[in-house]
């Protein structure tokens, strides 16, 4: 009976053993402001005593192309390989996580063995703070300010500001030409909920940073957060 038990356990081990060893499954990259793509490699090896097949690899985004070195999908014991991901920066800014799922051997379609993550930091050249101005309905129509700060070695100037709504007056103030500005916004009607969308156009040489967007809203006051039970 002991021998049969050993055989049984060995079979269980065979079912569980297929795996590739990725030393790093999360990588962080700081990209330059004008980068169009970022390439990140993930190395791996088969440290088991069985061949391992990569049956599928996929990124849930058209912005990542994934390639496996030399198109090789079967890895004998001791063999190493590399998955190369190329991230299309598009019009992103700030921090963006991108994931690549890798299926091995008998993985279920919804249960990949591995998830590789690339965190790309893309500089924010035109920073708005805050992004949204808020007033409570029936409150005081006081002026509020969105500060616009340029974070680039070359000057970036605000060319124009357009609002989607006449329910808000606005004025652009230059604090330092090419470096910092204030957009001062005042609601004209506090009795009706309203939303204003401001498009702030700059002369930034990098197209994806050229136009920014900010919001102003008059709305019902948010309810106080519910008390947390002890």
Partner 1 sequence: MKPWRQLVLLVCIALAAAGATWWHKGPPNRLFHCDPAALKPDEVCLESIPADAAVVWIDARPRAAWQKSGVPGSLLWNLDPAEDMQAFEAAAAVRIAVTPRVIVYCSDENCGVSRQVAARIRSLDLGAQVAVLRGGWRALSEAGRVKK
Where along the sequence are the contacts to partner 1 (CB under 8 A)? 1, 3-4, 7-8, 60-63, 88-92, 96-99, 101, 110-112, 115, 117, 130-132, 134, 164, 193-195, 197, 199, 211-213, 215, 217, 219, 222
CB of 44 to partner 1, least distance (A): 20
CB of 12 to partner 1, least distance (A): 12
What is the signed CA dihedral for 199, 204, 210, 212, rounded to 10 degrees?
Answer: -50
- 178: its two tokens: 């090419």
User: CA nearest 42: which of 101, 10, 82, 100?
Assistant: 82
Query: Can you tell me the distance from the alpha carbon of 88 to that of 165, in angstroms, rounded to the nearest whole number?
Result: 34
Q: How far is the CB of 164 from partner 1 (least distance, A)?
A: 8
Least Å distance, CB 77 to partner 1, is: 26
Residue closer to partner 1, measured from CB, 190 or 195: 195
- CA of residue 50 relative to chain centroid, distance: 37
Q: Which is nearer to partner 1, 62 or 153 (CB)?
A: 62
Of 75 and 114, the one with the shorter C-beta distance to partner 1 is 114
CB closer to partner 1, 28 vs 97: 97
| Residue number, 61 or 80, with CB nearest to partner 1 | 61
Q: Which of 143, 197, 145, 135 is nearest to 166 (CA)?
A: 197
Contact 157, 66 (CB under 8 A): no
Output the smallest distance, CB 178 to partner 1, in A. Answer: 23
| Nearest residue (CB) to partner 1, 145 versus 164 | 164
Output b/e per residue, 116-132; b: 16+ Cβ within 10 A: bbbebebbbbbbbeeee
Nearest distance from residue 79's CB to partner 1, in Å?
27
Contact criterion met (CB below 8 Å) for 16 and 9: no
Taking residue 211's Cβ as centre, other Cβ atoms within 10 Å add up to 16
Rounded to a whole number of angstroms, the minimum distance from the CB of residue 62 to partner 1 is: 5
Residue placing its CB nearer to partner 1 in the complex, 72 or 219: 219
11: left (phi over 0), alpha (psi -120 to 50) or beta: alpha
Dihedral, CA of residue 104, residue 110, residue 114 and residue 116, to nearest 10:
130
């Amino acid at each position: 009976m002991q021998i049969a038990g050993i055989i049984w356990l060995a079979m269980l081990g065979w079912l569980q053993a297929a795996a590739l060893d990725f030393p790093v499954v999360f990588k962080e990259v700081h990209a330059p402001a004008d980068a169009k793509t970022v390439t990140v490699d993930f190395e791996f090896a088969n440290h088991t005593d069985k061949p391992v097949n990569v049956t599928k690899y996929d990124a849930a985004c058209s912005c990542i192309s994934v390639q496996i070195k030399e198109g090789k999908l079967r890895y004998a014991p001791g063999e190493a390989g590399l998955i190369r991901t190329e991230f299309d920066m598009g019009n992103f800014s700030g921090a963006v996580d991108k994931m690549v799922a890798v299926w091995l051997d008998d993985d279920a379609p919804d249960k990949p063995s591995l998830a590789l993550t690339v965190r790309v930091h893309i500089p924010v050249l035109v920073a708005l703070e805050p992004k949204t101005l808020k007033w409570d309905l029936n409150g005081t129509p006081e002026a509020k300010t969105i500060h616009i700060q340029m974070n680039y070695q070359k000057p970036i100037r605000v060319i124009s500001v357009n609002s989607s709504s006449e329910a808000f007056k606005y004025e652009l103030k230059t604090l330092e030409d090419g470096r910092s500005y204030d957009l001062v916004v005042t609601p004209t009607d506090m009795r009706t909920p309203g939303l204003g969308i401001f498009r702030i156009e700059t002369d930034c040489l990098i197209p994806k940073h050229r136009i920014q967007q900010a919001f102003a809203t008059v709305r019902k006051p948010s309810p106080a957060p519910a008390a947390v039970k002890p």
